Amino acid sequence: MLLPPRPIIYEIHTFVWLDELSRRYGSALMLADVPLAEWQAIAALGADAVWLMGVWERSPAGVAVANNNPELQAGFVRALPDFTPEDNIGSAYCVRRYEVDARLGGRSGLAAARAAHNLVLVANTHPAYREQLINPNSTYRKGLDAALALQSICKSGLRGLARHLKSGLKVKDGLMPR
């Protein structure tokens, strides 16, 4: 399926979305289980593609850093008063491996969703991901020291992370204008 020259891409925080759908439908859903009506509702908004943000396997080290950061812990409790460390699934941008997270159904779950609904699904493609596909043993991390970036996120959010990237960083939710 080809995209138009200026596609509308609908971004979804995948873990949050699947949690909401699981609650609505009364059973745990993974990507392969998302009802057709949900994909149709997104298409009805005029979206040409869906960006499943946060599909990659998250870093346990990143979760540990966040769970030991008092400022982040305070924020978690403000957002979720009964927060426990098990609630922290980690940052979508603190990637352990560029493999679809097993909690979402893994690579096969993503493939099943894409095939069943003839969808264009996109995910972030940092140069490190492309390099890892070419050379699985690569340690390529152009312009980004992971520990420094994680520290920066903990201290100053995404603006701090942007300082450690050679390329820019843009975050936008919802539909992008044509």
Distances (CA, A) of 122 to 9, 18, 51, 82, 151: 9, 17, 5, 33, 27
In a domain, 152, yes or no: no
pLDDT of residue 176: 29
Residue 159's CB: how many other CB atoms inside 10 A? Answer: 10
In a domain, 70, yes or no: yes
- Please give the model's pTM, rounded to 2 decimal places: 0.68
In a domain, 4, yes or no: no
pLDDT of residue 148: 44
Per-residue pLDDT of the chain (178 residues), as tens digits, is 677 788 788 888 999 999 999 999 999 999 999 999 998 888 888 888 888 888 989 989 889 999 999 999 999 999 999 999 999 999 888 888 888 999 999 999 988 888 776 667 666 655 555 555 566 665 554 444 444 444 444 444 444 334 433 333 333 333 323 2
In a domain, 169, yes or no: no
In a domain, 117, yes or no: yes
pLDDT of residue 161: 38
Q: What backbone torsions phi and psi does residue 97 show, to the nearest 5 degrees? A: -145, 145
In a domain, 154, yes or no: no
Which residues are CB-neighbours of 101 under 8 A, at least 6 positions away? 55, 56, 57, 58
In a domain, 131, yes or no: no
Number of domains composing the chain = 1
Which residues are CB-neighbours of 127 under 8 A, at least 6 positions away? 140, 142
In a domain, 133, yes or no: no
Residues spanned by the domain of 115: 9-124
For residue 70, the 8-state DSSP code is H
